[in-house]
Amino acid sequence: MKKICFFLAGCFLMVACNNKPADTTTAATDSSAAASTAPKETPQSEFADPKYTEMGKAMMAQLSSGDIDAWGNNFSDKAKFRWSSGDSLDGKAAIVNYWKDRRGKVIDSLSFTMDVWLPIKVNRPQAGPDVPGVWLLSWNMVNVKYKNGKKLAFWIHSDLHYNAEDKVDIYIQYIDRAPINAALGSK
């Protein structure tokens, strides 16, 4: 039995070694010709212009400094601000009014550190309510001191969608509101 196995293994080895290699120059030429004539499929998403990272950093500095008017100028008139808890604000005026009140009456100081930015362009939404276009994803540590003296540090993730005029028309903030509510004594 062993002799037969060795004989068959040897035969397979000899046959494998005697095969001529394929003509790779013809195959390479054929595939490059096909690639140049075939339409290139647009990727589902790709990196967007790095200018969106700089725009996001500028917005963060404006909010941190309390310059809500300048921060608000980054939004389109029909912008939507959404929190992961389901709360929302509709319209630039509502967003600016909320943050002016929040920044002026509730928050004493606000800073962002350890920020990470990812500008992407969504060419084809994956499913559901996805919106094509430029998105700026960010993650950062928030350090906040409230007017009541309480301090918090927590992570936040934000998604900003830019319209054709490079104005934010969707702003989604993923945040755990429980520690904020506890620090402010609200439910």
Structure confidence at residue 40 (pLDDT): 86
How far are the Cα atoms of 34, 39, 125, 155, 158 from residue 130, in angstroms, in the given order? Answer: 34, 25, 5, 24, 15
Second-level CATH architecture of 45-184: Roll (3.10)
What pLDDT shows up at residue 23?
52
Quick one: 173 exposed, middle or buried, by C-beta within 10 A (0-12, 13-18, 19+)? middle
pLDDT for res 13: 47
pLDDT tens-digit map of 16-29 = 555 555 555 555 55
Dump pLDDT digits (tens) for 80-104.
Answer: 999 998 899 999 999 999 999 999 9
Six-digit token string for 177: 């509101």
Q: What is the pLDDT of residue 114?
A: 98
**Cα radius of gyration (the chain):** 28
- Identify the DSSP state of 103: I
Q: Which pLDDT score, from 0 to 100, does residue 142 have?
A: 97
| Residues counted in the chain | 187
pLDDT for 82 equals 96
- The conformation of residue 96, written as its DSSP 8-state character, comes to H
178 contacts 186 by C-beta, under 8 angstroms: no
**Element counts in the chain: helices (H) and strands (E):** 6, 7
- Given the DSSP bridges, would you call strands 151-162 and 133-146 parallel, antiparallel or unpaired? antiparallel
pLDDT score recorded for residue 126? 85
Q: If residue 29 lies in a helix (H) or strand (E), which one and from where to where?
A: helix 24-37
Give me the pLDDT at residue 127, please: 80
- pLDDT lower than 70: segments of the chain: 1-37, 128-129, 187
Q: What is the DSSP letter of 42?
A: P
Give CA–CA dist 19/33, Å, rounded.
Answer: 27
pLDDT at 97: 98
pLDDT of residue 50: 97
Measure the CA–CA gap between 62 and 87, rounded to whole angstroms. Answer: 23
Task: Tell me 66's DSSP state.
Answer: T
What gap in Å lies between CA 59 and CA 172, rounded to an integer? Answer: 14
Report the pLDDT value the prediction gives residue 95, as an integer from 0 to 100: 98
| pLDDT for res 130 | 79
